[in-house]
Amino acid sequence: MGSRAVIGGVLAVLALVAIIVPGGASGGDDTSQPYPTRQLAIMAPAAAGGGWDTTARAFQASSRDAGLDDGVEVFNVEGAGGTLGLSELVSKSSGDPYQLMMTGLVMLGAIETNGTDVPITRTTPIATLITETEGVVVPADSKYQSFKELADDLKADPGSIRFAGGSAGSTDQLLLGELARVLGADPKATKYVAHSGGGEANAAILSGSVDAGISGLSEFTDQIEAGKMRLLAVSSPVDAEIDGKRPPTIKEEGVDVELTNWRMLAAPPGIDDAERERITGYVEAVLESPAWAENVKRYDWQPFVKTGSELDEFVASEQKRVKQVVADLGIGK
């Protein structure tokens, strides 16, 4: 075989490798191109219908409508307040810039409650997205017509009311514990029925197997407006009207408690600073799009964007705060 034939064969093999392995033989992403250069996957580490799932799918739709991606897949990994999904992200996706996860305050509570050995700091935080108020609801045929009536019974006998919500240690359970504490009742005596997603919690409320529910307001809005649930109060002020009226806050109902939930996108470990900046730039572009603004309004969210070192400091502060709250409430392991 002549030298030209050998050189030609080598070049052909190199060209084939470049085609098969995006970004060249190393398998890395082509950092000369705007992120993303291929399909992106976002894990919602809970069942369909919950806050993480809703936020991930709203982000997916907004990115598509803004023409900022080549396709975004959203998939669900249920269990243990998101900590199963967290463990999967850390153990199976290290270094992969095309695998993101929706997470937030709920997961911090679950990490402390479940005693998992995989902290949120094992991930690469990309950006917080929104905050959301919590809603306290009852079935439409409930005897409770106001939050004050519910609070009076919770104070008198904290075990007399069964509450449905998200996973153990979630924002929902933390709010219930804080309500009991401020009312002068024992948080450990409250009855909280954990669910892996908002759909399951809603089913429990509607079926009457629980007396009340606590979760992100957006998870209840459709049922409230359909007349199947009654919204008693929200955990922080909202601008929007729900079912034709502005909902009262817990503080306005006479209980000095205020709490908001936040959500963020995180990448796996092993993402270098340059790749993190590329991913962050893409996420920020989605969050600045009109399509995302429409979803924020639709779900009664509040924009809440932190990135880079500011985000790292925020997550560390929240982790410390939640650890103390869980310990005070006696629900940690």
- pLDDT per position as a tens digit, 231-248: 999 999 988 788 889 999
Kindly report which listed range (22-36, 40-54, 140-154, 285-299) carries the lowest average pLDDT score.
22-36
Residue 25 burial (10 A CB sphere; 0-12, 13-18, 19+) = exposed
Between the CA of residue 304 and those of 66, 130, 248, what are the distances in Å? 20, 4, 22
pLDDT in tens, 55-64: 999 999 999 9
pLDDT of residue 62: 98
Domain shared by 59 and 102, yes or no: yes
**Average pLDDT of the chain to the nearest whole number:** 89
Residue 251: CB atoms within 10 Å? 15
Q: For residue 5, what pLDDT is reported?
A: 47
| Residue found by looking up tokens 């869980």 in the block | 326
Of the three residues 260, 285, 302, the one that is the final residue of a domain is 260
Q: How far apart are CA 217 and CA 236, in angstroms?
A: 10
Q: pLDDT tens digits for 76-114?
A: 999 888 999 999 999 999 999 999 999 999 899 989 988
The model's confidence at residue 330, banded by pLDDT at 50, 70 and 90, is: confident
Specify whether 84 is located in the same domain as 146: no
231, 290: one domain: no
CATH number, residue 250 = 3.40.190.10
- Work out how many domains the chain is built from and give that number: 2
Separation CA 47–CA 79 (nearest Å): 8
pLDDT tens for each residue of 13-47:
333 333 333 333 334 577 778 899 999 999 999 98
The verdict on 203 and 304 lying in the same domain is no
* DSSP code, position 70: S
Give residue 28's pLDDT: 59
Q: Which of 244, 260, 276 is the last residue of a domain?
A: 260
Residues in the chain, how many? 333
What are 1's two structure tokens?
């075989």
From 260, 275, 292, give the residue that closes a domain.
Answer: 260
Strands (E), the chain: 40-44, 72-76, 99-104, 124-139, 162-165, 191-194, 212-216, 229-234, 260-267, 302-303
Based on the fold, state whether residues 243 and 298 are members of the same structural domain.
no
Nearest alpha-carbon partner for 143 in 218, 225, 230: 230
pTM (predicted TM-score): 0.76
The whole domain housing 159 covers 133-260
